[in-house]
Chain A
């Protein structure tokens, strides 16, 4: 069964500090891995998308890494800001061989709170 597990479940850090969120997956056949940011009461917004051949991808202060061999990904947030407080969701897409639609498996998210 395709699964995506994220850790930690929640995290509190001080503004200006860095943090790293983890994602382990067992999705096959693998197509790509995405990180989404979901603010409270809002829909998820894409931060990065990485394919099998990509090890790292950055989006401003967000840097995602992917190790397709160990099926692990991390999202590193540098110099955190209060606005980074949100849920960060790891999503893995399986390769669709026929037909359409999607084969996305969502993690349950890491709830990050940035405090003064």
Chain B
């Protein structure tokens, strides 16, 4: 099993450009999440999904959109990138809340380092 994979690993954008980050998981997890990690701050939740076709806003959703067309994939889009979106983005997945013994444990991907100039 590959676990959680993310593409691309690195990306440099100019202000105003758009891009999509792809997350894939092969653990048949119901829930998927997108986080950003900035220096001196804990990971912050951008958007999450509790199942195929569903998405919800997290703590810092502005400037991002997401889609979950397939259970195994969760896409994060930046429509018009801004320098404030320079960050490391992590995708994670977990079993559904209430699944016995899971504690909703989240498994993280390797991250995408995004720089917006």
Contact = CB atoms under 8 A, between A and B. Distances in A.
Tier of interface size on chain B = 20 to 34
Contact of A49 (B103, B107, B111): B103
Contact of A43 (B31, B42, B109): B109
8 contacts: A32-B103, A43-B111, A89-B43, A100-B51, A100-B56, A102-B33, A102-B45, A102-B104
B74 interface: no
Interface stretch (B63-71, B76-84, B90-98): B90-98
Q: What 3 A-B pairs have minimum CB-CB distances, sorted nearest first? A: A106-B42, A43-B108, A100-B50
A102 B106 contact: yes
A41 B90 CA distance: 11
A89 B97 contact: no
A100 B42 contact: no
Contacts of B94: 102
Interface of B: 4, 31, 33, 40-45, 48, 50-51, 56, 58, 90, 92, 94, 96-97, 103-111
Determine chain B's interface SS by DSSP, over half rule: loop
Given A102-B31, A102-B45, A102-B48, A93 B111 contact: no
Given A42-B110, A100-B97, A104-B106, 4 more contacts: A43-B109, A43-B111, A101-B58, A108-B41
A96 interface: yes
A99 B43 CA distance: 22
Contacts, number: 65
Contacts of B106: 46, 102, 104
Nearest to B96: A100
A97 to B, nearest CB: 11
